[in-house]
Structure 1
Amino acid sequence: MKEQIPPKYIQLKQEIMSWIAAREYKPHDRLPSENEIAAQFEMSRQTVRQALGDLEQEGRLYRVQGKGTFVSGHAPLPERSGDGAGGMTVGLITTHISDYIFPAIVRGVESTLRQQGAKLLLASTDNEKAKERESLASMLREPLTGLIIEPTKSAEGDTNFDLFLTLDAQQIPYVMLNERYSDVDAPVLRIDDELGGYLAAQHLLELGHTQIAGFFKTDDFQGVHRMRGFLRALREHRMAVQPDNLVRYTTEEKYTRPQSMLADMLDREHAQRPTAVICYNDELAVLMLDVIRRSGLQVPEHLSIVGFDDSSLATATEVKLTTLTHPKSEMGADAVDMLMKLAQRQPGERIMPDKIYAPSLVVRESTQPPRQPMQL
């Protein structure tokens, strides 16, 4: 399923709000005419009129008969300051807020800000580019001291680059979590994902597995790097992964494609089946356990499985997962510390270095040396 694109009038609203957020049009400035906007964006006048009408109802714009449409002046953008903790406001934009490892990251950010008497503004993109744009535009209307951002589908490029330029123009410091867009110059706090993929594969190879399948979500760089580490370990052991044993998928496919592909693998002749599986994260590994059960196989007796992130899911099932660590709360707290240092940085100072966390392998019940597969 492709990412849903918002209607044209919504896209135009977001664009106009980015003009205002970037102070291209200040309070009481007149916007271009409906005809000029329609020509610029190749939209109908009706689409333009709908976007302007919505913004007028929201109090962002006002019209003067015979003169045009103007930026509202009753709620100007406040000045921003990073001096002192009192009154500070930090924004946090993540792909998700309420599930998987994200609540722990949010807690790390929130508890550290609370100690400094600062406020937290939360937004979630649901891993959709359009929602990331809405979140960025919304944050730009706030008196932010700084912003912590987890990029949305980082491997697919930065479609909201203009809003990151706006952050730079307004001198709002920001740091990135888990990954960074390749065209954005901001410090990032992230796991050494390639090392994690390497350690997962190395563990299985040392146990004696030679038929190892990998499942990686590759619309973000985390998955790309984890896959690279997996492949590097195999190359060092002079082993080639079978093309059918490497599955790449997107966010929209995460509840369908990996499970379907694993079911097909387990339906092969015994000698052709993988004896071990490496998953993009613990969430996928838990979903894969159901596929393995339905195939009449057991973990780890007939199939070893490794997750990633050492989430609560890793120990919530009857089979405790072997997995790689993720700092979660520590990363959230460190992000606040990095952001505060960035806000106090003087012009001309060196760019702040990234913070890279080395993952550790946590060996539990889901991996063991390969055995003969069960005869069905």
Structure 2
Amino acid sequence: MSQKKDDMSTEVVGLGRRRFLNTAALTGLTLGVAACNDKPETAPAASGPSAAAPAAHASSATHLKPGELDTYYGIWSGGHTGDMRILGLPSGREIHRIPCFVPDALVGWGLTNESKAVMGTKPDGSLRYTVADTHHTHASYKDGNYDGRYAWINDKINSRIARVRLDYFVCDKITELPNVQGFHGIFPDKADPVDPAINYTTRVFCGAEFAIPLPNNGGDINNPEKYRSMFTCVDAESMEVRWQVLIDGNCDLTATSYDGKLAATNQYNIENGVHYEDMMSSERDACLFFNIARIEEAVKAGKFKTVGTSKVPVVDGTRESNKDPKTALVAYVSVPKNPHGVNASPDAKYFICAGKLSPTATVIELSKVLDWFDGKLPELDKAIVAEVEIGLGPLHTAFDGRGNAYTTLFLDSQVVKWNV
């Protein structure tokens, strides 16, 4: 490579790491000096609106100067790092990492006796698990809004749920869910279904993505008739498992109504298949709605069973056992195939089910689901008020409080805005 000063054809092939970093630093310094020397009196007069102005404005809106604080702080999952991330908004800066399921030598998590007690150990004192896969995290509510008490996060690999205290930003409890494989969807309730004075989170709902033979002791691995999933309720304070619901197919993500009466999970594999071609053969699957008050009445009345060595009450939420609306614990609302996310609109009226393998979002009216449970709606699918075609691979939906929904499309690699 020529090093002559007048050689303007120098290639950068094989540029070493150190030289690359030095070059980048020098380039940045040069640009910074040039910007500082661009005095107003020497700048050319503007002949019209600058094309770069919108970009500059967008940059200034997200870039914070030293000492400035973000307006909001968001909670993210860390994936295979097994932790929770705190990011500032609008800057997008990572403010903090909260270790939960996986050891973290930086803060001694999984090394100290106190953190080992939270994570769980084997008889020899070593950690029971050292890997995790966090996907979803949600915070506690009061009066329909976040109250800053707790946040919960899932571990999909080992079917665990962790709670983080938001006054200290530290994980204080971890619970392993029995009879579950592939714990994915998670969402806290927002109120009690019966007592209006309890207007805050007391339950956290968890969906098992993978149907497994129950009990999962290896005896029925080749018997598809034994494969089912569990929808689990965890006590928000004690972090003990309150109850589980046996359902058909596989759970995906979960949601809760603002009045506390309903929880929901999108269900795929209504066929109860164990191979991909079976799981995706039907053109429609379901969004399942759980009547929380009825489930807890059934548990209190002793109308449950237990599975394997677990002592957790399990009620029957299969489609065949829940056809009578006046006694049903679960309602199966038909939606297009293999739905992924389900989200509650901020006006508390609708749940939006994203199609994933269907280019649609299904809008379900919650009052009509409750009417079906009360025997006032003859056909459950009448609760569907719209199926909106929005794009390829709908996953998750958020809202702006002005009637608009924003749904991610994983095949189109876009976010689509549409009016509910």
Q: Report which of the two has the higher share of helix.
A: 1
Normalising by structure 2, we get a TM-score of 0.23
Q: Which has the larger Rg? A: 2
Q: Report which of the two has the higher share of strand.
A: 2
Higher RCO (CA 8 Å, separation ≥ 6 residues): 1
Normalising by structure 1, we get a TM-score of 0.25
